[in-house]
């Protein structure tokens, strides 16, 4: 599975981990990862430590997650990006919408 999820210790944070290419082919799997409707989830961490590549449709998927998680009030952290992935996120100035660390 290129996408794995787990709950963080507090039970309110969903960690979504994407392996390999984060692009249109992972669209459905990425949506399935957060759209199970657990009401306890307050925050999301998108862990990109094993993500090798990210394209513009992945940026779109992140926006969908942000919308799902409450738009401007969404608590989403994107973490462990490699340099290429980080570059794509910063060209699009996604740090204005997401907490990237």
Question: What is the footprint of other proteins within residues 51-90 (CB under 8 A)?
Answer: 56-57, 59-61, 63-64, 67
Q: Is residue 92 close enough to count as binding other proteins by CB under 8 A? A: yes
Q: How far is the CB of 65 from other proteins (least distance, A)?
A: 9
Q: How far is the CB of 8 from other proteins (least distance, A)?
A: 25
Token pair listed for 47:
């862990």
In the block, tokens 């963080």 appear at: 8
Q: Which residues of the chain form contacts with other proteins (CB under 8 A)?
A: 56-57, 59-61, 63-64, 67, 91-94, 96-97
């Amino acid at each position: 599975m290129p996408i794995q999820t787990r709950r963080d210790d507090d039970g309110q944070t969903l960690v979504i981990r994407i392996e390999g290419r984060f692009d249109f082919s992972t669209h459905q799997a990425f949506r399935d990862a957060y759209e199970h409707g657990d009401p306890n989830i307050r925050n999301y961490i998108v862990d990109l430590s094993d993500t090798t590549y990210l394209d513009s449709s992945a940026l779109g998927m992140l926006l969908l997650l942000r919308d799902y998680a409450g738009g401007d009030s969404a608590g989403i952290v994107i973490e462990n990006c490699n340099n290429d992935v980080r570059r794509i996120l910063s060209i699009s100035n996604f740090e204005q919408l997401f907490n990237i660390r």
